[in-house]
């Protein structure tokens, strides 16, 4: 999915809970990756009219420091992306992220705690969300997440997840973006009917808080039933379906709807395939809750020992729920197609060519459809992992 290469997404998940101890035997490890390259964008602002072409360079770096023990795992994962344009210095930006996580795992349960801080630009953060990408505003995200599981017996397992995310925009009010905070709690019960199949019942509750405009505060809830099936060693599939409700607020009535998610994954020696579709209730930078539909496809194929091809496609429709009796809320539609070729030049280096096309339509603006073509050529250092005890 094309969002330039000006955004680093750091994913970290860790598991945990065990008996207390004063020391934990284990190993420390570090790993780092870097990439430098040149880029071209024929509509860097994704503007419906008068597109602005820009070329420039990017430097990316990410790393991790990790401790792995018998029951304890700790990790720090920083990342930086610096983007500079030849003739558009006003759009230059440096994005950064940091994820800190800790976890314990025991025989019958696990728990993890993750903190994340991210700083990027609205040129990327609003794609397929509010649809506002014609300005370069700083966006900051701070989040904390707790997750835990408990096995009652060989077939039943309980789960709990709690997340708090705080979004802030630099001078966002000037362009209609509002700082907001979103809290969500999900509780689940999973029944394993066999080694290859399981059912999951999940209840989710969320609350949106908009400090500068409290009348936009809203609560949401959802209840869904999911089924996961492993038809073969290389295949995995899942499907869930449920109902959602968003409480009345700001003169708008309560909203009821359907939420769903489905995935099909295949992993083989030379190929991987992932298909996904989901609808969820999620907030955006306008301080509104909305229904987000997201359909994606990703394919990786290894042609030879040195050549690897990646192809990904994504369709997003984010429809904001109405407030203050204004009828239908604004919506944004975003579609992207990305092809990446990687040629390994050595043990740890590779050349990377990425070509992507994206299209976005803002339904609240007449003639609000825009498209862009992007290309990036760079060299990636795959990093050197070091481990010590």
pLDDT at 367 over 70: no
In a domain, 79, yes or no: yes
Average pLDDT of the residues in 208-217: 90
What's the pLDDT tens digit per position in 213-263?
888 889 999 999 999 999 988 999 999 999 999 987 756 678 899 999 999
How many Cα neighbours within 13 Å face the side chain of 109? 13
Other residues' Cβ atoms within 10 Å of the Cβ of residue 58: 18
Mean pLDDT computed over every residue of the chain: 88
Instruction: State percent of the chain over pLDDT 70.
Output: 90
In a domain, 18, yes or no: no
What's the pLDDT tens digit per position in 5-58?
333 333 333 333 334 444 567 899 999 999 999 999 999 888 888 888 999 999
Confidence (pLDDT) at 2:
37
In a domain, 199, yes or no: yes
Beta partners for residue 302, in sequence order: 308
The SS3 of residue 123 is: helix
pLDDT at 364 over 80: no
Confidence (pLDDT) at 202:
98
In a domain, 15, yes or no: no
Average pLDDT of the residues in 55-64: 95
In a domain, 122, yes or no: yes
| CATH classification at residue 152 | 2.40.160
In a domain, 8, yes or no: no
What's the pLDDT tens digit per position in 100-132?
999 999 989 999 999 999 999 988 888 888 888
Tokens 């060989």 label which residue? 154
383 compared with 358, residue with greater pLDDT: 358
Number of domains in the chain: 1
In a domain, 252, yes or no: yes
DSSP state of 88: -
In a domain, 10, yes or no: no
pLDDT at 326 over 60: no
Tokens 């070729």 label which residue? 341
Distance CA 338, CA 310 (A): 8
Task: Note the Cα 138 to chain centre separation in Å.
Answer: 18
Domain residues for the domain of 340 are 26-388
DSSP state of 122: H
CB 63 within 8 A of CB 98: no
Q: What predicted TM-score, i.e. pTM, was given to this entire model?
A: 0.86
């Amino acid at each position: 999915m094309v969002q330039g290469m000006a955004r680093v997404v750091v994913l970290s998940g860790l598991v945990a809970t065990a008996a207390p101890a004063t020391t934990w035997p284990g190993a420390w490890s570090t790993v780092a990756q870097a990439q430098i390259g040149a880029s071209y964008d024929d509509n860097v602002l994704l503007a419906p009219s008068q597109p602005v072409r820009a070329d420039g360079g990017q430097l990316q770096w990410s790393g991790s420091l990790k401790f792995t023990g018998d029951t304890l795992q700790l990790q720090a994962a920083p990342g930086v992306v610096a983007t500079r344009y030849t003739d558009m210095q006003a759009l230059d930006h440096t994005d950064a992220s940091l994820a800190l996580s800790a976890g314990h795992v025991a025989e019958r349960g696990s728990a993890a705690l993750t903190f994340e801080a991210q700083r990027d630009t609205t040129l990327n953060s609003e794609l397929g969300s509010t649809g506002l990408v014609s300005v370069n505003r700083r966006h900051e995200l701070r989040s904390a997440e707790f997750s835990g599981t408990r096995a009652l017996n060989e077939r039943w397992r309980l789960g709990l997840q709690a997340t708090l995310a705080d979004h802030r925009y630099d001078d966002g009010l000037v362009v209609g973006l509002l700082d907001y905070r979103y809290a969500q709690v999900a509780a689940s019960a999973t029944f394993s009917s066999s080694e290859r199949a399981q059912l999951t019942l999940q209840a989710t509750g969320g609350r949106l808080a908009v400090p500068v405009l409290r009348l936009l505060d809203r609560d949401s809830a959802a209840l869904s039933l999911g089924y996961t099936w492993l038809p073969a060693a290389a295949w995995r599939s899942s499907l869930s379906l449920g109902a959602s409700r968003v409480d009345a607020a700001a003169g708008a009535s309560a909203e009821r709807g359907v939420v769903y998610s489905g995935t099909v994954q295949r992993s083989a020696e030379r190929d991987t395939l992932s298909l996904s579709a989901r609808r969820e209730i999620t907030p955006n930078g306008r301080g509104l809750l909305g229904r987000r539909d997201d359909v994606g496809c990703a394919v990786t194929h290894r042609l030879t020992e040195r050549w690897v091809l990646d192809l990904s496609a994504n369709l997003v429709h984010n429809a904001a729920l109405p407030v203050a009796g204004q009828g239908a809320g604004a919506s944004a539609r975003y579609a992207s197609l990305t092809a990446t070729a990687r040629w390994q030049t050595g043990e740890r280096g590779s050349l990377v060519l990425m070509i992507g096309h994206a299209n976005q339509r803002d339904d609240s603006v007449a003639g609000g459809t825009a498209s862009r073509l992007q290309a990036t050529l760079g060299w990636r250092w795959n990093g050197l992992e070091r481990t010590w005890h």
